[in-house]
Amino acid sequence: MNIVCPLSREDEIAGIISSGADEIYCGVLPDAWERSYIDFASIDRRPYPYACLSDYQQLGNVVNFCRPRKIPVFLTVNEFYADSQFNQITAHLKKAAQSGVDGFIVADISLLAWIRKTMAKNLKVHVSGRANILNSQAINFLKEMGADRVIFPRQLTLEELKNLSICAQNTGLETEVYILNLNCRFLDGFCTFYHKKSAVTAKLLRLRAKNSGLEEGLLSLIPDYFRKTAQKKVLENFFGCCMPYTFNGTNENKRALKNYLNLEPLLNACGACLLYQFEKFKISHVKIVGRENLTGRKLKDISFLKEALALLKHKGSFEEYAERIRALFIRIYATKCGSCYYKF
Amino acid sequence: MEKALFILKSEDLSYWDVSYSRLYFGSEFCQNLIPGISQTDKILEFVYRHKLFFSLVTPYCAEEGIKKVEKLLKFLTAAKIEAEVVFNDFGTFRLLKEYKFLPVMGRLLTKQNRDPRISLFNLKQPQKWEHLKECAMLSQGAKEFLKDNLINRIEIDNLRQGIKLNTGLLQELHVSLFLPFCFITTGRFCVFKNDNFDASCQKECQELAETKLHHKAMPVELSLKGNTLYYRNTQPVKIKDRTVDRLVWQPRF
| pLDDT tens-place string over residues A201-210 | 555 555 555 5
Cα A251 to Cα A47: distance, rounded to the nearest angstrom = 38
Tell me, yes or no, if B131 comes closer than 8 A to chain A by beta carbon: yes
Interchain contact, B185 vs A191, CB within 8 Å = yes
At residue A265, the pLDDT reads 67
At residue A314, the pLDDT reads 81
Chain A residues in contact with B134 by the CB 8 A cut-off are 82-84
Chain A residues in contact with B207 by the CB 8 A cut-off are none
Q: Would you state the torsion angle of the CA atoms of residues A38, A43, A45, A50, taken in this order, to the nearest 10 degrees?
A: -60
Tell me, yes or no, if B62 comes closer than 8 A to chain A by beta carbon: yes
- Is the peptide bond preceding residue B236 cis, with omega within 30 degrees of 0? no
Q: How far is B252 from chain A (nearest CA, A)?
A: 19
pLDDT tens per residue, range A63-73: 999 999 999 99
The segments of chain B whose pLDDT lies below 50 read none
The residue-averaged pLDDT of A244-259 equals: 74
Cα A173 to Cα A112: distance, rounded to the nearest angstrom = 15
At residue B170, the pLDDT reads 61
Reported for A112-115, long-range contacts at CB under 8 A and 24+ positions apart, including other chains, are A112/A142, A112/A145, A112/A146, A112/A147, A113/A145, A113/A146, A113/B141, A113/B144, A113/B145, A113/B148, A114/A90, A114/B141, A114/B144, A114/B145, A115/A146
Which residues numbered 145-174 in B keep a CB inside 8 Å of some CB on A? 145-146, 148, 166, 168
Count, residues in chain A: 344
Chain A residues in contact with B66 by the CB 8 A cut-off are 135-138
Residue A272: exposure state from Cβ atoms within 10 A (0-12, 13-18, ≥19): buried
At residue B45, the pLDDT reads 96
Cα B124 to Cα B112: distance, rounded to the nearest angstrom = 22
- The closest CB to that of B121, out of A40, A109, A184, belongs to A40
Chain B residues in contact with A47 by the CB 8 A cut-off are none
At residue B194, the pLDDT reads 66
3-state DSSP call for residue B211? strand
Tell me, yes or no, if B117 comes closer than 8 A to chain A by beta carbon: yes
Q: Is the pTM of this model over 0.80?
A: yes
Neighbours of B42 (CB within 10 A): 16
Q: How far is B88 from chain A (nearest CA, A)?
A: 10
Mean pLDDT, rounded, of chain A: 87
- The closest CB to that of B115, out of A113, A140, A194, belongs to A194
CB A23, CB A72: distance < 8 Å? yes
pLDDT tens per residue, range A136-193: 999 999 999 999 999 999 889 999 999 999 999 999 999 999 999 878 888 989 999 8
Q: How far is A119 from chain B (nearest CA, A)?
A: 13
Q: How far is B46 from chain A (nearest CA, A)?
A: 32
Interchain contact, B90 vs A109, CB within 8 Å = yes
Residue A81 has pLDDT above 70, yes or no: yes
- The closest CB to that of A259, out of B112, B115, B194, belongs to B194
How many whole angstroms from its chain centre is CA A84?
Answer: 26
Interchain contact, B144 vs A259, CB within 8 Å = no
The complex's ipTM? 0.94
Chain B residues in contact with A135 by the CB 8 A cut-off are 61-63, 65-66, 89, 91
Q: What is the DSSP letter of A340?
A: B
Alpha helices in chain A (DSSP H): 13-19, 31-37, 56-66, 83-98, 109-118, 136-145, 158-171, 199-210, 212-219, 224-238, 251-260, 275-281, 295-311, 318-333
Tell me, yes or no, if A91 comes closer than 8 A to chain B by beta carbon: no
At residue A252, the pLDDT reads 66
Which of B40, B50, B51, B31 has the alpha carbon at shortest distance from B10? B40
At residue B41, the pLDDT reads 95
**Where residue A251 falls among pLDDT bands split at 50, 70, 90?**
low
- The closest CB to that of B187, out of A110, A138, A187, belongs to A187
Which of B105, B131, B139 is best to mutate for the A interface (most A CBs within 10 A)?
A: B139
Tell me, yes or no, if B134 comes closer than 8 A to chain A by beta carbon: yes
Q: What percent of chain A has pLDDT over 70?
A: 83
pLDDT tens per residue, range A9-49: 999 999 999 999 999 999 999 888 877 776 677 888 877 77
- The closest CB to that of A136, out of B63, B185, B189, belongs to B63
3-state DSSP call for residue B103? strand
Residue A237 has pLDDT above 70, yes or no: no
Cα A69 to Cα A224: distance, rounded to the nearest angstrom = 36
CB A186, CB B185: distance < 8 Å? yes
